[in-house]
Each structure stands twice: as C-alpha cells, then as structure tokens.
Structure 1
Amino acid sequence: MEFAKKKFGQNFISDKNLIKKIIDILDQEQNHLIIEIGPGKGALTKELVNRFKKVIAIEIDYDMEAILKSEINSDKFELIIKDCLEVNFEEIIRTNNFSKVSLISNTPYYITSEIIFKTLKISKMLDKAIFMVQKEVAQRICAKPNENNYNNLSIAAQLYSNIKYEFTVNKNMFKPVPKVDSAIITFNFNDINLIKVKDDIKFIAFVRKIFNNKRKTILNNLSNITNNKQISLNVLAKLNIKENLRPENITLNQFIEIYNEVISC
C-alpha cells in the first residue's frame, strides 16, 4: 500500500534535486550516524544510505516496512517500525557509538513540537538536526525578539543551538499536495547558552508558563509564577528590564537572567 495516510501526516517527496539539496546541508563526513524520522517510501533514505556509514530510519506505519526493505537492501540501513515518540534515542546513539550523529526528519505536522522537544532533550548527543516543517512553524521557531511569532519554541531552539531557516519548499513538491508550503530548518547544537542555566528542562517550563499569557506584561507573568509582585519588581529592576515589556520583547539572555534570579530568591 503506497497511499499516504492522513492520520500519520504523510506527504512524500520524490524530487531528486530537493533531496540532494536537503542532504547537502548535513556534514558530509562518511563515518556518520544518521537517524531519520518518518522515511515514508524511502526517497530521502536511499540517498542517505549511499552517502553515510549508518542510517537508522524510524517509521510509524507498518505498511511502509515492505516498501522500505524492498527499496533499500544494505547492511548500512536499519529500520525501526515504531512511534518515534516512544523510541529511546539515547540508547540507539550509545549502542552505535559514532563520533558524529545527526537527525533528519520530514516531520509529520501533527507532532512537530513533540518531535523537536524530544530532539532538544538529547541535543548533547547530536551534532545537527534538520527538520522539514510547515513554513509557519519554521518562521516561529526561527523568530527573533519583537516579532509576533516569537514564542517559547523560539527560545528553546536558541537555547540549544544555532538555528537557521534554510529554504522554503513549495507544497507542490509533495504527494499528496498539502495545504501549505514547508521549510527546511537546521539546528546546529552547542552548549553556549545551555551552560548559563542550572536546569534546562525547568527553564523551558518557566519560559512556556510566561508565554501562556503572551498579552500580559513580563511583570504580571512573573508575578503569577513567584506569587509575589514585589519580588518580581525587584528582579526586573536588578536586571534593568522594563516591567511593561511583553514576553515577545524579551531576549533569550534576559529570560536566562530572569530565571536565574527567580530561582535564587
């Protein structure tokens, strides 16, 4: 069965030039473990196997198993039929023991955020991640302070990596044709910002709470977290951050400073 399934958000790419353009973004060292989420019928996977030493593809759709195994016959290829959100990526990476590891995904639209946050949690084990996501989501992830679509996902991406909007992918390059265009974004992982926070998971949760009330000022949002307006005022004054700013006006470094002050109060 080769029909795309709506419940899995399947949209297949087959354009060879697009596939090459995506894979060229990866570091081209051959001794490289590539983890692919959502290989579909394997158009991207085949080229990955041709270029790199090991490719592990994770596919949720059992009907794709026979197609992938018939298309790709190589000892460099391993297929895991499972929901990627239930896969232990740490174990896969430790077991295969490569010095360079990258993740690539034509990401199902309905679980984009979950996949990205799962990837960020293992960022220290990865060199790079390439995601194909809806264009609007890509713009949100890559957004800068003072832009309307800047949110907690933008902050998370910046915390763990240098994030780059690579290029837009026209919706007509997919089968079936989705309703919107897509985009390729790249996470180049590093710990430049990560070392500034004591607990990255708690920091992300802190930022998410603040963005839950995006229209409120940073003072109001902070007061809801601290349950003490005076403490919040003191924190902002100490950091020279105006209390009437809104979450989309606050930079990553300022969020880090606010968080570190709050947990030390």
Structure 2
Amino acid sequence: MSELRLLGPAEIRDLAELTGVTPTKKLGQNFVIDANTVRRIVRVAEVEAGDTVVEIGPGLGSLTLGLLEAGAAVIAVEIDGRLAEQLPVTVAQLAADATRRLTVIHQDALTVTSLPADPARLVANLPYNVSVPVLLHFLEHFPSLRSGVVMVQAEVGHRIAAGPGSKVYGAPSVKAAWYGTWRVAGTVSRQIFWPVPNVDSVLVGFERHERAGDESLRKRTFALVDAAFQQRRKTLRQSLSSVFGDPASAEAALEAAGIASSLRGEQLRLDDFVRLASGS
C-alpha cells in the first residue's frame, strides 16, 4: 500500500487543542507522536492488506492511520466521545480513500461484547490503567482474534509474557497463556509519547492457539489462579483453601491432580491449573 501522511508532534497537539482534549491519567492517555514507531508496530504485528484489525483506544489516530496505510480494515473502540467523533474526520482529511475501511465504536472497551465484523488481529496502544483487563476481555469475547501486538507499560508487558518461576510471573501470565503464546517483541522509548510518561513501554505480541476446554473449565481455572496468587507467599494448601472449602480439601484435590500442596502458585504452569480445575 502507498504511504499515508501519519501524525507527528505538531499534528497531535493541534488535534488535541481542536478537540479540547487534555491527556488524563484517569483514561491512561499518552498519544504516540512518532510515525516510525507506528510503522514498526504495524510491521511487528504483520498486518496485511485485507486484514480486519480491532484497535482499542485509538486516541487521536496515530496508529489507526498506520493500520489503514497497511491496507487493513480497522474497527476502533474509543471511550472518549470527543476522540471518537474526531477520528473519522482526521482520517478523511489525511487518508480519504481509507475512510470506508474505518469503523469507530464509541464505547468502553470493557463493555464491548460484539463487533460489526470478526477481527483477526488486535493491535493497540493500550491505556496503561486497564491494559490487562481489556486484553483478557477481548480474547475471551472474540475467538476470531488469531494474533496481535499491544503496547503496554513495560512492567505489565513482562508480567503478561512471563513463564513459571519468574519473579514477575502471576495471574495475568497464566490467564494470558490460556489464550496463546506471548512474547516481548521490543522496547519503546518514552519520547515517542505526548505527554511523556514516567514509565517505560514494551510491545507484546501473541499468537492464539486452540485450547481444549469449555467456558466452565476456563472460569474454574481462572478462579484457582486468582486464589493461588492472591497470597503469593502461602502454599497452595493454604491459598486454595478458599476455593475448596478448607486446607484439607485443597490438599486432597492437589494430590489427586499430582501437584505437591507445598508448592506456591508461581511454580505452577497453566496446564497444572487446568488439571486441577478439571478434577474440581
């Protein structure tokens, strides 16, 4: 596809002034002002012409334009009404031929359970304050998503992609693993944002895989994961007693699943939690 005119620092500030938007921590708004970073995200996500991509929190449209430049159809979910209203206008001005490939949904991403088309990829600069809940929500409700790349706070990104035994391995790591394989796909400079955040960011990529098990098993598994990591220092015998009723019942269930009750949650793989949930 031919290159479009992407947004730079001056355009971002002009659009913010035009819409009356002052970036807020409450909504996790840090707008991308670097076209090279936008194209890098699109490239890492392997977005191709004809793909249907869902973007969460498009903001002023930096990444949206990059996705449209690649030839994708974009479904953009935006909670801020001013930004949702302005985005089609911005695209019409800078990429008139691409307007038919943009759909804007003005809604809180955590309440979205249906979309006008089935997206194959999720590509987004996720708001820092809700990145994990939003990511898991979309993976749960949209099985058509096969892959994606999200930009998140570095600490969060490393936690999502972490494996068992890592210091940052936790409930988000296990829940993300239910849906697919994850990797940290690169670091991002703070300077490509406006305003400049006080934290580092990373790109996290995923490839979805099919998992044996229905929604009931997923819920039981996630309940065990939440309990196991709610009190990280406690052994599974203690931490899972809230799920099984008491420590003795938790120990019996763990023994039946072939898991030592003296272990802690951070030592278990997703398959261990699934095996335990299958017997409960």
Fold conserved between structures, TM > 0.5: yes
Residue 200 (structure 1) aligned with residue 218 (structure 2) = yes
Deviation (angstroms), 1:218: 0.9
TM-score, normalising length: structure 1: 0.88
Judge which range, 222-231 or 208-217, deviates more. 222-231
Residue 31 (structure 1) aligned with residue 50 (structure 2) = yes
Letter paired with 2:244: T
Unaligned runs of 5+ in 2: 1-14, 17-21, 93-98
Unaligned runs of 5+ in 1: none
Choose from 104, 111, 114 the match for 1:79. 104
Q: Note the aligned Cα RMSD (angstroms).
A: 2.1
- Aligned equivalent of 1:227: 245
Judge which range, 60-69 or 7-16, deviates more. 60-69
Contact 1:217 1:247 in 2 (8 A): yes
The secondary structure found in structure 1 opposite 2:143 is helix
Choose from 198, 206, 209 the match for 1:187. 206
Contact 1:197 1:256 in 2 (8 A): no
1:79-117 per-residue CA deviation (whole Å, 9 max, x = no partner) reads 2222222223xx31xx43x5x611122111111222022
CA–CA distance in structure 2, aligned partners of residues 238 and 148 of structure 1:
28
Choose from 43, 67, 70 the match for 2:89. 70
- Aligned equivalent of 1:126: 145
CA–CA distance in structure 1, aligned partners of residues 103 and 214 of structure 2:
37
CA–CA distance in structure 1, aligned partners of residues 24 and 246 of structure 2:
50
The secondary structure found in structure 2 opposite 1:5 is coil
Aligned positions of 1:142-161 closer than 5 A = 142-161=161-180
Deviation (angstroms), 1:165: 0.9
Letter paired with 2:74: V
Residue 242 (structure 1) aligned with residue 260 (structure 2) = yes
Judge which range, 2-11 or 61-70, deviates more. 61-70
Deviation (angstroms), 1:196: 8.3
Structure 1 residues 228 and 24: CA distance shift in structure 2, 3 A: same
- Aligned equivalent of 1:255: 273
Alignment coverage as a number of residue pairs = 255
1:124-174 per-residue CA deviation (whole Å, 9 max, x = no partner) reads 221113221110011111111111211111001111111111111121221
Deviation (angstroms), 1:56: 1.3
The secondary structure found in structure 2 opposite 1:70 is helix
TM-score, normalising length: structure 2: 0.83
Letter paired with 1:35: V
The percent identity for this pair of structures is 29
The secondary structure found in structure 1 opposite 2:191 is helix
Choose from 29, 33, 40 the match for 1:10. 29
Residue 173 (structure 1) aligned with residue 192 (structure 2) = yes
